[in-house]
Amino acid sequence: MAGPGRVPLTISDLTEASDWDTTLVITDDWMKKIVPERRHSGWEAVEKQWIGNKQSQQSIDQKPSRELTRKEYEAMERFPYPQRALPVPQLEFDFRMKVILSSQSASVAVNDGFKKWSTFSDGSWSGRFGYGLVVNGGQESQDVVHGKTAATWVEGMHRLQTEDEVPAYIECKTRGNMTGPPELVKALQDPGASASVDPRSCLFRVFVTMKTTDERYAEKLNAGMWIGSCLWKGLEVIYDAYRVS
């Protein structure tokens, strides 16, 4: 239920038609139940090509195991407590967030490069613990190149608002990077050039933490940590956040 002067969000509001085919990165049964399958013009061909490339890569990965190097053997000999197994972290899908970057940004010279500061003009989120809007925030990024690989280091701060009658506010921090061939990393951040580039051609992962003083959400979020799988296309970025347990 929404408060005075506010219009409640619906699932259809959060899954409105756009240039994205959001079902292409869904891997969780919970999300599949609420997001209808959609195919937008041009995306079906992109998906077929992506699936074909993935299958080809899987065939390449199925090579016979190689012999360990001397350095790897030496590392194994120094492995602490080799007889003791530690709990393996598990990932569980928790929420999706979409943000729209402002077309205006500021650049600051840093050493031999530049850092770019951008703000968000719009955004929404939905997941297991609720749904709502991204009401403000900013993102700092810096491009670096190492040989044939480019990386955009990204740190973002998002303020999430829940759609409760009395809304809660959640501080959401993201930190990570997008890596890939320099020309593709650059093209995906260009609103004009990104239309012809598959955003999955570059790896984009972030670490996510959240914090709130609202007692309705504090126990669920303040001690949690998430790994985000992200896609960046022009001025739009979407995050699928997986809780680490």
What percentage of residues in the chain have a pLDDT greater than 90? 56
Which residue, chain included where needed, has tokens 């040989």? 147
How many helices (H) and strands (E) in the chain?
6, 8
Report residue 170 as tokens.
Answer: 């959640």
With cut-offs at 50, 70 and 90, classify the pLDDT of residue 108. Answer: confident
pLDDT value at position 23? 45
Please provide residue 56's backbone torsions phi and psi, each rounded to the nearest 5 degrees. Answer: -65, -40
SS3 for 87? coil
DSSP result, 158-227: EEEEE-SSS--EEEEEEEEEEEE-HHHHHHHT-TTTGGGS-GGGSEEEEEEEEE---HHHHHHHTT--EE
List, in sequence order, every residue forming a beta bridge with 210; answer none if it has no partner.
172
Cβ(217)–Cβ(170) below 8 Å:
yes
SS3 149: strand
Please count the residues of the chain.
245
Determine the pLDDT at residue 107: 80
Q: Between 122 and 163, whose confidence is greater?
A: 163
Residue 69 phi, psi (nearest 5): -80, 170
Per-residue pLDDT band at 15 (split at 50, 70, 90): very low
User: Top-level CATH class of 11-36+88-244?
Assistant: mainly beta
Q: Lowest mean pLDDT: which of 23-37, 153-167, 228-242?
A: 23-37
Q: pLDDT by residue (tens digit) across 168-226?
A: 999 999 999 999 999 999 999 999 999 899 999 999 999 999 999 999 999 999 999 99
Mean predicted confidence (pLDDT) in 93-110: 88
CA dist., res. 156 & res. 178, Å (int): 13
Q: Are 159 and 192 in contact (CB under 8 A)?
A: no
- 13-27, 105-119, 168-182: which is most confident: 168-182
**Which pLDDT belongs to residue 88?**
95
Classify residue 154 as exposed, middle or buried by CB count within 10 Å of its CB (0-12, 13-18, 19+). Answer: buried
pLDDT at 90: 96
